């Protein structure tokens, strides 16, 4: 980790830093009152997002940075992730084909599916050569089926 404040941290965009990113943010979520199931879902989505930034946005070049900001707003926990890596291609299909044989499936799309499934809201924007991804997870899980 490069720099941290109470609600913000900047990390190197390295795959090896992803576990620390997840630890810092999920600890903040725990301190904010998020339940265990919600933290697990948030951690999985955060891991996927930051892994994609490191591997694809910065093409495994650890010289880039990932800036995170987190906060509670009412019953929601927000995580804003910013990077200056390559733009995220939103044109790919967002739902994987679960009906085909696993060995025959096209790679890609599963991570976004997981993120959308496990988060309460997810938004992306590209502006001024910067990617901004906002993850929102309820502090208390209200879904019985997940």
Long-range pairs for 40-44 at CB < 8 Å and ≥24 separation?
A: 41/118, 41/119, 41/137, 41/141, 41/146, 42/77, 42/79, 42/118, 42/119, 42/135, 42/137, 44/114, 44/118
Query: Which domains are present in the chain?
Result: 3-138 (3.30.565.10)
pTM score, two decimals?
0.86
Question: What is the per-residue pLDDT across 88-113, written as a single tens digit (0 to 9) for each?
Answer: 877 665 666 666 666 665 666 678 88
Question: What is the per-residue pLDDT across 108-128, written as a single tens digit (0 to 9) for each?
Answer: 667 888 899 999 999 999 999
Dihedral sign from CA coordinates of 50, 114, 95, 131: negative
Closest CA to 18 of 71, 83, 73: 83
The whole-angstrom separation of Cα 67 and Cα 51 is 14
């Amino acid at each position: 980790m490069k720099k941290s404040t109470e609600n913000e941290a900047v990390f190197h965009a390295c795959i090896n830093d992803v576990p620390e990113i997840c630890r810092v943010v999920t600890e903040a979520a725990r301190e904010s009152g998020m339940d265990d199931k919600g933290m697990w879902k948030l951690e999985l989505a955060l891991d996927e997002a930051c892994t994609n930034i490191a591997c694809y946005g910065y093409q495994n070049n650890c010289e880039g940075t990932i800036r995170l900001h987190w906060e509670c707003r009412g019953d929601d926990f927000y995580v804003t992730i910013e990077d200056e890596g390559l733009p995220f291609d939103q044109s790919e299909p967002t739902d994987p084909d679960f009906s085909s044989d696993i060995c025959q499936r096209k790679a890609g799309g599963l991570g976004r599916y997981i993120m959308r499934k496990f988060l309460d809201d997810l938004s992306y924007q590209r502006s001024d050569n910067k990617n901004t991804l906002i993850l929102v997870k309820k502090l208390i899980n209200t879904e019985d089926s997940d």
